[in-house]
Chain A
């Protein structure tokens, strides 16, 4: 068999699936997003979004919730990554297993667990009330806080893993060298460890941000009916209102704004890094 024939035969089945179920439908969706009521080409769906404060508020909420998720995931995930980098093989394995395994179980089920914990009659509120610390149950669910908690639970592992991978790659003798040269632990952390694991932090934060922006299930279940994010609105436009062109446009606006923000963020960090290089 010729090489060309082999390659074609081997890749064709998967490629047909990819082109047929993914690339072609995406193009159809893009075209549809430019359709008005009369099925004529127009920018109507996109201009509607930009002019309507309702949609802009939802976009801003989506970004805000995602940024909080990134921040909390970083604050919780960084120490875990540091711990994993310092831990022995067996301990590292156990931590890895315990932090990753939950992420292979459906997000619906994990969210349900959080509803049991955070609800008005949930574990936390009942405990706090019985301890006499609060009179009224705290509102921990069906608001932005609830979404951030759910998203952080969903994505913190990606942050941990991205940072841990970059920490594993740091040569331990660098830390030794720093301490021999008289640097304190804090100084070593800020001058050696942090700059060297910056790629991991960038990878982790951008990944968690992108995932949070497009998350649907958690905001739908833990945000409630009044606190909606862009993916939930896009879903409603398609499945409830049956305004497919607008739903498609909303989904692309979501993707576009995510890509734009991530690009700006990485550019900003890179320029800053180069500045440091030139200054020294």
Chain B
């Protein structure tokens, strides 16, 4: 029993450490003082009201939300289609296509960011929403493909066959049988894409212009100049938003299964 207690103690310590940033940020956002302090001094909403006076944060929040939503929808659509082809058909080159679909995971974000900037500059979409969207779709697609492929690997195709035998149209079979059964995998792919896009910094860093700055980047830039409780209040808003999606992911799919993906988010 003693061994378990030692392990338990270390585990508790590590869990506190990885969650420490949030345990510190949220309280300090309510400080009444004019500077960053933990434990916070007094209580006030002033730093949340202050956000309203900073249009760059509000604007970047909208950009991030819009970007993450469109990324999630398009990446899930493209990734799901490809996963269907990879799972349903045996064809020459499927191994290569599969490897290519997952390859953005294995290349450092830095390289993805630089090369995208190079290319987008040449075709004239550097700094635009479209450029950001394409890059975010690129880094989200591997997760969708992996999640949907995993879902399809345990998929019982006899159910589809049964549908056909009962005379259903292929579209009807897809809509009433295939899709509902794969819903957890597809929805998880969508939520994970949303989070990947919403939290991304390293790829976006190279691709944003002042009017397309995303929220994490606005915080990153602000942090390099000033450290005040405003960062804490904005961060708390992001934490809250992300938490909603994390709880959704856990409910739909399970975080442990998700991270078995060998994800690379930095």
Q: Which residues of B contact A247 (CB under 8 A)?
A: 114
B255 touches A238 (CB 8 A): no
> Does B264 count as interface, using CB distance less than 8 angstroms?
yes
Chain B residues positioned under 8 Å from A32 (CB to CB): 118
A97 to B259, CA, bound (A): 11
B152 within 8 Å of A by Cβ?
no
Residues A10 and B100 in contact in the complex (CB < 8 Å), given A17-B138, A22-B112, A113-B20: no
A28 touches B118 (CB 8 A): yes
Residues from chain B with Cβ under 8 Å of A11 in the complex: 81-82, 85-86, 97
Bound CA span A103–B232, Å: 18
Q: Which residues, 245 to 260 on A, are CB-close (under 8 Å) to B?
A: 247-248, 251-252, 254-255, 258
In the complex, the 6 A-B pairs of residues with the closest C-beta atoms, listed nearest first: A113-B21, A214-B108, A10-B85, A25-B115, A25-B119, A106-B199
* Cβ contact within 8 Å between B135 and A211: no
Mask, A16-36, CB within 8 Å of B = 1, is 011011111110110010000
Of all chain B residues, the one with the shortest Cβ separation from A160 is B14
Task: Assess whether B238 is in contact with A105, with CB atoms less than 8 Å apart.
Answer: yes
Evaluate contact between B14 and A254: CB separation under 8 angstroms. no
Query: How distant is the Cα of A160 from the Cα of B38 in the complex, in angstroms?
Result: 29
Q: Among residues 46 to 91 in chain A, which have CB atoms less than 8 Å away from a CB atom of chain B?
A: 76-77, 79-80, 82-84, 86
A15–B93 alpha-carbon span in the complex (Å): 12
Question: For chain A, which range describes its interface: under 10, 10 to 19, 20 to 34, or 35 or more residues?
Answer: 35 or more
Contacts A15-B100, A238-B114 given: A106-B107 contact, CB under 8 Å?
no
Which residue of B24, B115, B202, B264 contacts A29 across the interface (Cβ within 8 Å)? B115
Q: Which residue of chain A lies nearest to B262 when distances are taken between CB atoms in the complex?
A: A207
- Cα distance A79–B97 in the bound complex, in angstroms: 39
- Chain A residues with Cβ below 8 Å from B13 are 76
- Docked pose: A114 CA to B21 CA in angstroms: 6
Contact B108 A116, beta carbon cutoff 8 Å: no
Render B116-155 as a binary contact track against A, CB cut-off 8 A, 1 for contact.
Answer: 1111001000000000001101100100010000000000
Once bound together, how far apart are the Cα atoms of A235 and B3, in whole Å? 46
Contact of B255 among A13, A96, A235 (CB under 8 A): A96
Closest A residue to B6 by beta carbon equals A79
Contact with B along A143-173 (1 / 0, CB 8 A): 0000000000110111011000100000000
Does A98 make an interface contact (CB < 8 A)? yes
Tell which of A194-202, A215-223, A272-280 binds the partner: A215-223
- Are A14 and B81 in contact (CB-based, < 8 A)? yes
Stretch at the interface among A1-9, A37-45, A132-140, A263-271: A1-9
Q: Is the CB of B259 within 8 A of A112?
A: no
Given contacts A6-B89, A239-B206, 17 further A-B contacts (CB under 8 A): A10-B82, A18-B141, A21-B135, A21-B138, A24-B119, A77-B14, A80-B7, A97-B255, A102-B21, A104-B245, A108-B223, A109-B21, A110-B21, A113-B20, A114-B21, A115-B227, A211-B264
Residues of B within 8 A of A (CB): 3-4, 6-8, 10-11, 13-15, 17-25, 28, 36-39, 77-79, 81-82, 84-86, 89, 91, 97, 100-101, 103-104, 107-112, 114-119, 122, 134-135, 137-138, 141, 145, 195, 198-199, 201-202, 205-206, 216-217, 219-220, 223-224, 227, 231-232, 235, 238-239, 242-243, 245-246, 249-250, 255-256, 258-260, 262, 264-266
Measured between beta carbons, the chain B residues less than 8 angstroms from A18 are: 100-101, 103-104, 138, 141
Give the residue among B115, B217, B242 with the most A Cβ atoms within 10 A: B115
CB A135 to nearest CB in B, in angstroms, measures 21
Docked CA distance A23–B85 (Å): 21
With A and B bound together, what is the CA distance between A20 and B141 in angstroms? Answer: 14
Cβ-closest chain A residue relative to B218: A108
Instruction: Answer whether A161 and B79 are a contact pair too, CB < 8 Å, given A21-B135, A235-B110.
Output: no
In the assembled complex, 13 residue pairs joining A and B whose CB atoms fall closer than 8 Å, in A order, are: A7-B91, A9-B81, A14-B82, A96-B255, A103-B259, A105-B199, A109-B25, A109-B216, A109-B235, A111-B223, A221-B223, A231-B110, A254-B108
Which chain B residues border A98 with CB–CB below 8 Å? Answer: 15, 18-19
Cα–Cα distance between A62 and B102 once the two chains are bound (Å): 26
User: CB distance A221 to B266 under 8 Å?
Assistant: no
Q: Which residue of A lies closest to B138 (CB)?
A: A21
Flag if A216 contacts B255 (CB, 8 Å).
no
Whether B4 contacts A86 by the Cβ 8 Å rule is yes
Question: Cβ of B232: which chain A residues have Cβ within 8 Å of it?
Answer: 112, 116
Nearest B residue to A84 via CB reads: B11
> A9 CA to B39 CA in the complex, in Å?
58
Q: Is the CB of B18 within 8 A of A221?
A: no
Question: Which A residues are in CB contact (< 8 Å) with B224?
Answer: 220-221
Q: Are B25 and A161 in contact (CB under 8 A)?
A: no
A109 and B11 contact, Cβ closer than 8 Å, known pairs A13-B78, A22-B115, A114-B21: no
Give the chain B neighbours of A80 by CB distance below 8 A.
7, 10-11, 14-15
Q: Provide the residues of chain A in CB contact with B245, threshold 8 Å.
A: 104
Residue among B17, B37, B78, B239 making CB contact with A109, cutoff 8 Å: B239
Cα–Cα distance between A32 and B111 once the two chains are bound (Å): 13
